Chains A and B, each alone.
Chain A
Amino acid sequence: MRWLQRFWTAVGVTSLAFLVVTGLAPQRRAAEGPRESTADERERTLWRLARGPLLIWIVLLVVLGGSAWSAFFPLGALNPTINLLLAALMLFILATFLMDLKSASPVVRLVASAGVLWVVFLFTLTFTDYLSRRQSLPIEQSRLTLPHAPSNRAGFGNSESTPRSPP
């Protein structure tokens, strides 16, 4: 049952975090319109255009490398945790800086959070079932040999894993 408590705590913290992220942050600027520029200005502008994304790209690659590197250390339950946390970090960086969520209107941020919040509903309630079943198994793997009706599943030799008796 401690599983469940940890799970609910994680869910609560995640939900709070997303609500906080949604609420904080500046309002959207007015949409930029077209501007004319000279060749000189264009050169400077290309660097200014690409500078931000380039920096974010390097950061993301570093985090990616760190995540892959950490996978080779035997850290037990910490391995997937670190990997998923770093993935979440990469997602956050991508969403905030490359997808411009940081300067989007609060409603857009709310929409993004809503998608994630609904995933939390799905996971929470589904695992409420699975984590509280008696044997902690989704289904008891039957040791009985049951007679199989002819299966209509596509054949890649799929039904050979359990012995069949004639129908």
Chain B
Amino acid sequence: MTDVTLPFAPQKEVGTESFLDAGHTLISWLTTTDHKRIAILYAISITIFFFIGGIAIGLVRLELIEPSGMFLTSDGYNRLFTIHGIIMVWFFLVPSIPATMGNFLLPLMIGARDVAFPRLNLLSWYLYVGGAAFTIYVLVAGGVDTGWTFYPPFSSDYSNSHVIAAAAGVFVVGFSSIATGVNFITTTHMLRCPGMTWFRLPLFCWSMYATSLVMVLATPVLAMSLVLIVAERAFGLPVFDAAKGGDPVLFQHIFWFYSHPAVYIMILPAMGVVSEVFACFARRQVFGYTFMVYAMMAIAVIGFMVWGHHMFVAGQSQLANLVFSFLSFIVAVPSAIKVFNWTATLYRGQIGFDAPMLYALGFLGLFTIGGLTGLFLASVPIDIQVTDTYFVVAHFHFIMVGGSVSAFMAGIHYWWPKVTGRLYNEFWAKFAAITMFLGFNMTFMPQFLMGWEGMPRRYHVYPPVFQIWHVLSSGGAAILAIAYIMPLVYLTLSLRYGARAGNNPWHATGLEWQTTSPPPKHNFERRPVVIADPYMYHEIGQPRSSHDTSPPLPQGRQI
């Protein structure tokens, strides 16, 4: 029985035609099955939504300068923070690193030609666009005011806003997540090149795998929770109706069963990115590779068992509170292990303070602060004090913005030369990174303080005693906004005016750096064979310059 094998080397001579040159029409982009092009489609989409969500919260922060508000009605205020949450969670953070960097890099890092199901990959982008269309409709038609958490009975019975459309948008984009997850899990299992054993995978690949597990297993539960809300609202079915014996807290159980693992969807990829960046810019192996892998898998699994910590004051039993609190403390341990290992990776390294490294260092500090404040919240009595205050808001923004967004920026800058073949302006990149760090702290540090003092979240008007913190926070937000616009400018300019990048400007290990920048359509001219563990920086030493064109350095060779 002969198996037909596709030759890895293309039949005709293609030279170094990059994936960007394989088709210049819009249709070639909209019907592509190339994972690299799909990654770019995603990157454009999520950037647009990042700025829409940013404008929404910009208006909120502007409004909060005055204790009794300035130009918004309370109803308008509610709709703005709700759409900020919905967009930032589902249309930016959840897809951000997986759908852009994961899509682009996973096949490259494992030495494959594409993901396992390229057409499913394209479908996942169209599902994102479909969900986005619902969200744009919601924006245009007047918004939704339930908070991103859609709690009944307000969302199902009493809200006078476009709950069904918003829920539909999130439902559809959820299936985009699931499709991506299925693709990545199958790709990692089935398409690793020869020599790429599981424990030679770069930590970024492991993070994509762990994230995909969470996406596949958690997102469907969210989808059904939204179906139930829509069923109650659209068809009058008494799903969470207390008058019929229904329980609104049951919605919270089902919703948070997804939404807590969702935050691990948002942080695990970030952890993968910074592992790559730290290794490269400290010129060191990642300390404790095996523990890093197990820690990520532990976070992914145990993360499914802690959701009740969002419901300590919702009416859960004391036993449930105890169990969830205990498990929430446990889930912090693998994260802490990772922070220690990153620190140990840096120790005695030859640190280069390039822009990706600045972002990664910012991640390290800000994620640690966010994580420690998470421990505060895992403790039931403290949580009861600070529930629904700005303390919680600050905690999750430290993780999601200080953590995930910093890592996203680190990854964008690290792999920009690989994706585009261009180098960006290093001065402006560093400037933006530092501005972002300072702006971020000025925005969110005051929120810890005012939350601790009792400032409730989601409040349009507030007692004047909190004004100073709000003004500081809004000022920081303005700085942050400028810092986010800067990369948009210099990265776009680099496409035209940036110096051409070589194959491996950072002298990094990893298979993605053993091919051209940008890569050819099928990633490698010849199938790679892996001959070494990842992160063999100790055998390479310090690069001489970013324009060094000496021969590629192994994790693998193309033979």
B249 partner residues in chain A, CB cutoff 8 A: 138-139
A155 partner residues in chain B, CB cutoff 8 A: 236
A100→B221 CA distance, assembly (Å) = 27
B232 on interface, CB distance cutoff 8 Å? yes
A156→B243 CA distance, assembly (Å) = 15
Question: Which of the residues A129, A139, A156 comes within 8 Å of B235, measured between beta carbons?
Answer: A156
B250 on interface, CB distance cutoff 8 Å? yes
Name the interface size band of chain A.
Answer: 20 to 34
Contact A156 B233, beta carbon cutoff 8 Å = no
A154→B157 CA distance, assembly (Å) = 9
Contact A121/B245 with A114-B217, A152-B158, A156-B235 known, Cβ cut-off 8 Å: no
Contact A129 B158, beta carbon cutoff 8 Å = no
A35→B376 CA distance, assembly (Å) = 65
The interface residues of chain A, by DSSP majority, are classed as loop
A122 partner residues in chain B, CB cutoff 8 A: 221, 257
CB distance from B313 to the nearest CB of A (A): 13
Contact A153/B233 with A33-B1, A125-B305, A132-B320 known, Cβ cut-off 8 Å: yes
Contact B245 A158, beta carbon cutoff 8 Å = no
Q: Which of B306-345 contact A (CB under 8 A)?
A: 307-308, 315-320, 323-324
Contact B319 A162, beta carbon cutoff 8 Å = no
A124→B464 CA distance, assembly (Å) = 46
- Nearest residue in B to A105 (C-beta to C-beta)? B189
A158→B153 CA distance, assembly (Å) = 14
Contact A151 B305, beta carbon cutoff 8 Å = no
Residues on A facing B (Cβ under 8 Å): 33, 107, 114-115, 118, 121-122, 125-126, 128-130, 132-134, 138-139, 141-142, 149, 151-156, 158, 161-162
Contact A156/B245 with A118-B304, A132-B317 known, Cβ cut-off 8 Å: no
- Nearest residue in A to B319 (C-beta to C-beta)? A132
Contact A125/B323 with A139-B247, A149-B158 known, Cβ cut-off 8 Å: yes
Contact B233 A138, beta carbon cutoff 8 Å = no
Contact A161 B244, beta carbon cutoff 8 Å = yes
The interface residues of chain B, by DSSP majority, are classed as helix
Question: Which of the residues B159, B247, B248 comes within 8 Å of A152, measured between beta carbons?
Answer: B159
B6 on interface, CB distance cutoff 8 Å? no
Contact B157 A126, beta carbon cutoff 8 Å = no
A129→B325 CA distance, assembly (Å) = 13
Number of residues on chain B facing chain A (CB within 8 A): 39
Question: Which of the residues A141, A142, A153 comes within 8 Å of B236, measured between beta carbons?
Answer: A153
A141 partner residues in chain B, CB cutoff 8 A: 242-243, 245
- Nearest residue in B to A142 (C-beta to C-beta)? B242
A149 partner residues in chain B, CB cutoff 8 A: 158
Residues on B facing A (Cβ under 8 Å): 1, 156-160, 189, 217, 221, 232-236, 238, 241-250, 253, 257, 304-305, 307-308, 315-320, 323-324
Contact A151/B217 with A125-B305, A125-B308 known, Cβ cut-off 8 Å: no
CB distance from B347 to the nearest CB of A (A): 37
Extra inter-chain contacts (8) besides given A133-B317, A138-B250, A152-B160, CB under 8 Å: A33-B1, A125-B320, A129-B253, A130-B317, A139-B247, A152-B158, A161-B243, A162-B243
CB distance from B245 to the nearest CB of A (A): 6
Contact A151 B158, beta carbon cutoff 8 Å = yes
- Nearest residue in B to A140 (C-beta to C-beta)? B242
Contact B189 A107, beta carbon cutoff 8 Å = yes
CB distance from B149 to the nearest CB of A (A): 18
CB distance from A4 to the nearest CB of B (A): 8
A142 partner residues in chain B, CB cutoff 8 A: 242
B304 partner residues in chain A, CB cutoff 8 A: 118, 121
A121→B189 CA distance, assembly (Å) = 25
A156→B244 CA distance, assembly (Å) = 15
A158 partner residues in chain B, CB cutoff 8 A: 236, 238, 241
B243 partner residues in chain A, CB cutoff 8 A: 141, 161-162
Contact A154 B221, beta carbon cutoff 8 Å = no
B247 partner residues in chain A, CB cutoff 8 A: 138-139
Contact B232 A139, beta carbon cutoff 8 Å = no
Contact A153/B232 with A115-B217, A142-B242 known, Cβ cut-off 8 Å: yes
CB distance from B233 to the nearest CB of A (A): 6
CB distance from A141 to the nearest CB of B (A): 6
A-B contact pairs, 7 of them (CB 8 A): A115-B217, A122-B257, A132-B319, A138-B245, A139-B315, A152-B157, A161-B244
A152→B304 CA distance, assembly (Å) = 33
A151→B248 CA distance, assembly (Å) = 16
A138→B494 CA distance, assembly (Å) = 59
B257 partner residues in chain A, CB cutoff 8 A: 122, 126
B160 partner residues in chain A, CB cutoff 8 A: 152
- Nearest residue in B to A32 (C-beta to C-beta)? B1
Question: Which of the residues B241, B245, B246, B316 comes within 8 Å of A129, measured between beta carbons?
Answer: B316
